[in-house]
Amino acid sequence: MRADRLVATLLLMQSRTQITAAELAKELEVSVATARRDLEALSTAGVPVYPQPGRGGGWSLIGGARTDLSGLTSAEAQALFLIAGPAASVAPQIKSALRKLVRALPQTFRADAEAAAGSTIIDTAAWGEDTKDRPGLVTVLQEAVVKQIRVRLTYQKRGQAPQGRVVDPWGLVDKDGTWYFIAGTRDGQRTFRLDRVLGATLTGTPASRPADFELEGAWDKVVTAMEERRSETAATMLVPARFLDIFQHQHGRHCTVVERLGEQVRVELTAPRPLDIARNVAGWGGLITVESPEVQEHLVRIGEELVSRYRPASPDGPAAP
């Protein structure tokens, strides 16, 4: 994981006067090109890492070898923790490394660094959607979370006109490529999908956040509520074992393995309605066998609709409409 390597890279550089990309690659068991890209990423993010060209050169941390991070400015500390913080939600070893780094920071920087590390989490379980590019608004909203500045959002719900509102920024979540923004409003905590946010600007007004707010716990409640709404109907089906990983990736937490039967695996798929399940699996055609009669009925109707629309014209009759 890249964030893990970035943290390890910085720790190695603290213990040495300088290090070459080749030496770093050997230590971290990666290619020299990967090590060089990681060093450049730290430098670009604002961490005081710089190269010394020429024979006997390498990469150094400004200030030389040391056992703490007292050479970092507040902005540099935030940059580092914004890089590594999200990965801590899926990798306990990174979370442990970040705790150690926080203790190494000057007291005046710790609050900002902790805020940056906790501003974003990663949830790798899909909700059956294609992965998307990182929205440009993430950077703006991360800044709002870290600095605790209220944000003016322009948000458009599906089928509704855009609306503007001022919110308190509490955290960001990357759920398998779809981003969500958790914020405080006059109506309490709300979750906004970033692909429906048309604009976001910092107001300059200090934001408020509950003293006991914890992003991972708040997101768990959001996921639990969403899963309950999305899992009202369950259906079993047989999936070829060789395609199980792909099928599970497509449906995330809504797909549960019931039993393995050699070359076939019986799974349970959940969705709000039988029709939703039928639509989700229709593209698999004859590769899977749906066992639930309610879903079978919808698959038959979907199949008939497709045949009616796309069956080639017969020589003696008109083309399909």
* CATH number (domain holding residue 28): 1.10.10.10
- Distance from C-alpha of 314 to C-alpha of 310, rounded to nearest angstrom: 12
Q: Residue-wise pLDDT tens for the chain (321 aa)?
A: 455 577 677 767 766 678 888 888 888 788 888 888 888 877 776 677 778 777 777 888 765 434 345 555 556 555 665 655 555 554 555 555 555 565 555 555 556 656 655 665 555 555 555 445 556 788 888 888 888 899 999 998 878 888 899 999 998 888 767 889 999 999 899 999 888 999 999 999 999 988 888 888 888 888 888 777 766 789 999 999 999 999 998 888 789 999 999 999 999 998 888 999 999 999 999 999 999 999 999 999 999 999 999 888 766 655 555
- Distance from C-alpha of 204 to C-alpha of 5, rounded to nearest angstrom: 35
Query: Which pTM was predicted?
Result: 0.47
Counting every residue written for the chain, the total comes to 321
Pair of tokens at residue 286? 């004859």
- Residue bearing tokens 């999305």: 230
The reply to whether 11 and 90 lie within a common domain is yes
158 within domain boundaries? yes
- Distance from C-alpha of 244 to C-alpha of 225, rounded to nearest angstrom: 26
Report which of 101, 122, 307 is spatially closest to residue 219, judged by C-alpha positions: 122
Write down which residue in 228, 249, 271 finishes a domain. 228
* CATH number (domain holding residue 173): 2.30.30
Longest dimension (CA), the chain: 86
DSSP of 43-78: HHTT-SEEEE-STT-EEEETT-S-SS-TT--HHHHH
Residue 63 lies in domain: 2-101
Number of domains in the chain: 3
Write down which residue in 169, 200, 228 finishes a domain. 228
56 within domain boundaries? yes
- Distance from C-alpha of 169 to C-alpha of 182, rounded to nearest angstrom: 7
